[in-house]
Amino acid sequence: MKIAVVTDDGNTISQHFGRATQYAVFDIQNGKILSKELREKAGHHTFQAEGQTHDHDHHHHEGRGMDAHADHKHGRMVATITDCEVLLCRGMGQGAFISMQQAGIKALQVDFHSIDEAIQALIDGEIDQHVHEQLCGDHNHHH
């Protein structure tokens, strides 16, 4: 099974999916980590560098992140992990969550900061204790 984790440094889980610059991808078989690699991830930084407008106003995005333009961006964010079954993140908007579902990737929002701790909890079958259902947009949590 391949697991992707959003990160900026390869060690911690990024606060928000769209802003992360990389994926740490783990190949796990029979409870053991066979490999870990870092993959570049498209994100808000990519689209700003390409001169595209920043359509993710984090404080007021009811209905945002759900149009065709955002769908295209989310598709680019998902493209490098289509071989993964699970994505671990700490926060994610609804549009990105739906894009993951459409790609057949189970997105889990966890309360871990450490990638190693999150992966170990997944291996040990304890990840469910650390998953929260909240999507950005509900704003009952703080970033």
Does residue 62 fall inside a structural domain?
Answer: no
pLDDT tens by residue, 5-29: 999 999 999 998 888 999 999 999 9
Indicate whether 87 belongs to any domain: yes
Sign of CA dihedral 92, 98, 99, 102: positive
CATH for 89: 3.30.420.130
Say if residues 21 and 40 touch (Cβ distance below 8 Å). yes
Domain count, the chain: 1
Contacts of 122 (CB under 8 A, 6+ apart): 3, 28, 86, 88
Q: How confident is the model at residue 138 (pLDDT cuts 50, 70, 90)?
A: very low
Range of the domain at 5: 1-41+83-143
Tell me, yes or no, whether 65 lies in a domain. Answer: no
Evaluate if pTM is beyond 0.75.
Answer: yes
Is residue 120 over pLDDT 60? yes
